[in-house]
Amino acid sequence: MTALTIQNLWKEYGDQVVLESVSLTIAPRAFVALVGPSGCGKTTFLRMLLGQERPTRGSILMDGDPLPPEPGPDRGVVYQRYSVFPHLTALQNVLLGPEMQASRLTGRVWGMKRRVLVDKAAALLAEVGLAGAEGKYPAQLSGGMQQRLALAQTLMMRPKLLLLDEPFGALDPGIRAEIHALMRRLWHEHAMTVVMVTHDLREAFALATRVIAFDRPRNRPEERMRYGATITNDIAIWPPRVAGRQTIYDADIPAGQDDLSRFAIHSGTTRPVAGAQA
């Protein structure tokens, strides 16, 4: 049950302030969608959660403990592209993580132990809809299939925290709807907390329990370096979604039939329209 507590987080690169005073508590099993204009620090924020970047100031606690300073199997990530290894088959891609972990020297596991891992990897591939594609290389898979593979590869390590950086951004709309249904199912069935960056508000509202917007409160050209982005909006989805408890409300809504009209969109972030219930 993974909760995150982010306290007064700042990230600066040289003179440039990217993020400033970000404070946020994320409940266990939440599905947080992070939106905001390009360059406002969303990927930087995910990289800090992953342990690939250190905050300049502030702290990140995972279940009350400081986040380990390096990436580990408890945190998985899927990017928009290139999360899988092109020279490995689908099955080998999913096996790679546990093999590296089990045998740090050779990167291989043998005998019964390997059999168990192969069965588990094949089951996970089937779970993401890739049964029969075990022997294919990523170049032989469609974009949607590659992202399914990337999800399977990440889930194989049983991450407590799943980080997604525009994972479905490059997919066609039809394929996206399918993969949304898969993502929702995976979130219900695997005990993980999810933080997903997206440019697509519809996607954010379709999947998340909570939508958080980053933006720069001070954004004049002369202010851009000195002031960073912070949380400008924090919207709990209503009616609430609860992990492990699928409702009719979670059923896939055909594109165009959901009601986003109560949110006005400004520079890529959301602000509830005055008087609307958010």
Length of the chain: 278
Q: C-beta of 135: minimal distance to ligand ATP in Å?
A: 34
Give me 138's structure tokens.
């990523």
| One-letter amino acid for residue 210 of the chain | R
Site stretch for ligand ATP (CB under 6 A), options 22-30, 37-45, 176-184, 256-264: 37-45
The Cα–Cα gap between 136 and 231 comes to 42
Region of residue 176 (phi > 0: left; psi between -120 and 50: alpha; otherwise: beta): alpha
**In the complex with Mg ion, which residue's Cβ is closer, 34 or 208?**
34
Q: Which does 91 bind (CB under 5 to 8 A by kind): ligand ATP, Mg ion, none?
A: none
Q: Which does 41 bind (CB under 5 to 8 A by kind): ligand ATP, Mg ion, none?
A: ligand ATP
Give strand ranges (E) for the chain: 4-13, 16-26, 31-35, 57-62, 65-66, 75-79, 161-165, 193-197, 210-215, 230-236, 263-266, 269-272
Region of residue 39 (phi > 0: left; psi between -120 and 50: alpha; otherwise: beta): left
The Cα–Cα gap between 218 and 22 comes to 15
Q: How many residues bind ligand ATP (CB under 6 A)?
A: 10
- Which residues make beta-bridge pairs with 161? 75, 193
**In the complex with Mg ion, which residue's Cβ is closer, 47 or 160?**
47
Binding mask 231-250 for ligand ATP (x = CB under 6 A): --------------------
Q: C-beta of 216: minimal distance to ligand ATP in Å?
A: 11
Binding mask 42-81 for ligand ATP (x = CB under 6 A): xxx-------------------------------------
- Chain residues 201-260 in contact with Mg ion, contact rule CB under 5 A: none
Site stretch for ligand ATP (CB under 6 A), options 31-39, 132-140, 202-210, 247-255: 31-39
**In the complex with Mg ion, which residue's Cβ is closer, 99 or 203?**
203
When asked if residue 43 is in the footprint of Mg ion (CB under 5 A), the reply is yes
Among 1, 8, 21, 39, binds ligand ATP (CB under 6 A): 39
Residue 117 backbone dihedrals phi, psi, to 5 degrees? -65, -40
CA 177, 44, 240 angle in degrees (round to 5)? 45
The Cα–Cα gap between 162 and 196 comes to 8
Binding positions for ligand ATP, rule: CB under 6 A: 13, 18, 36, 38-44
